Copies of this chain bind each other. A is one copy, B any other.
Amino acid sequence: MIVTIQQSVMAEDEKYAARIRSVIREKKILMVNIIGSPGSGKTTLLESMADLVIARSDRFSFSVIEGDLETTRDASRLAAKNIKAVQINTKGACHLEAHVVERAFASLDLDSLDVIFIENVGNLVCPTEFDLGEDFKVAVLSVPEGADKPLKYPMLFFQAKAIVLTKTDLLPYVNFDSEMFKQDLHSLNPEAPVFALSLTSGEGVEEWVNFVAEQLKRKRENAE
């Protein structure tokens, strides 16, 4: 019952998603929808890019649309790193929807941006079902969550164009079956690259940034 109803809401939202897609195509902006559990390291991933990306003029410029049920803590964290972020509070909703993202566009300087990262509400399930007009989704999974998550939450890991595995510095202290993780992920999504990140040491961040830069370059080449 609920599925049918959500589909009609989603059909309405598809119009907004299409409009967003058209705007970012025109502005040659790459938009990435970042999805992961609460505390999987989504904000920390964005923070970690600040030094690598902002400090270097040959890299892309980016802003963040921050989705949270409540508080402006994540946007404040990013602001402290000189990352421009627009905070959306969903006031209880478990995911972002395209019409909300479109409203956030008004606070962004779309003419001077290369990349927009959307940090979705911390949730491995619901955000996956909503098209925000993004170029692609990225799944963020932290090592302490466990290697069984791809098969237990398959929709996200099936759809994601890339997987970011965070908190790899905790591998010595938790049970994380890397072999099972790789096999399960491969069975769902053999194409998606996995970026293993230790955000305490900074390991892996550069590869992730290079991946985003490559996606941006491809999008612009295809548009020509």
How distant is the Cα of A68 from the Cα of B146 in the complex, in angstroms? 15
Choose the segment among A52-60, A110-118, A149-157 that binds chain B (4+ C-beta atoms closer than 8 Å): A149-157
Choose the segment among A14-22, A166-174, A216-224 that binds chain B (4+ C-beta atoms closer than 8 Å): A166-174
Task: Quickly give the copy total for this chain.
Answer: 2
Within 8 A of B (CB), among A157-200: 167, 169-170, 173-174
- Contacting pair A38 B73 (CB below 8 A): no
How distant is the Cα of A9 from the Cα of B3 in the complex, in angstroms? 11
Contact of A152 among B1, B37, B73, B174 (CB under 8 A): B73
**What residues of B have a CB within 8 angstroms of the CB of A170 in the complex?**
144, 170, 173-174
Choose the segment among A26-34, A119-127, A207-215 that binds chain B (4+ C-beta atoms closer than 8 Å): A119-127
**What residues of B have a CB within 8 angstroms of the CB of A122 in the complex?**
37, 124, 152-153
- Contacting pair A155 B125 (CB below 8 A): no
Number of chain A interface residues as a range = 35 or more
**What residues of B have a CB within 8 angstroms of the CB of A151 in the complex?**
70-71, 73
**What residues of B have a CB within 8 angstroms of the CB of A202 in the complex?**
none
**What residues of B have a CB within 8 angstroms of the CB of A5 in the complex?**
2, 5, 9
A-B contact pairs, 27 of them (CB 8 A): A2-B9, A37-B38, A37-B39, A37-B122, A38-B124, A38-B146, A38-B149, A38-B152, A39-B142, A39-B144, A39-B145, A68-B152, A69-B154, A69-B155, A70-B151, A71-B152, A73-B152, A92-B125, A94-B94, A94-B123, A94-B125, A121-B125, A122-B152, A126-B126, A142-B144, A169-B173, A170-B170
Q: List 10 A-B pairs, minimum CB-CB distance, nearest first.
A: A39-B145, A94-B125, A144-B144, A39-B146, A5-B5, A37-B38, A37-B37, A38-B124, A94-B126, A71-B151
Known: A37-B38, A69-B125, A169-B173; 8 extra A-B contacts, CB below 8 A, are: A1-B9, A39-B149, A70-B154, A73-B148, A94-B126, A121-B125, A170-B173, A173-B173
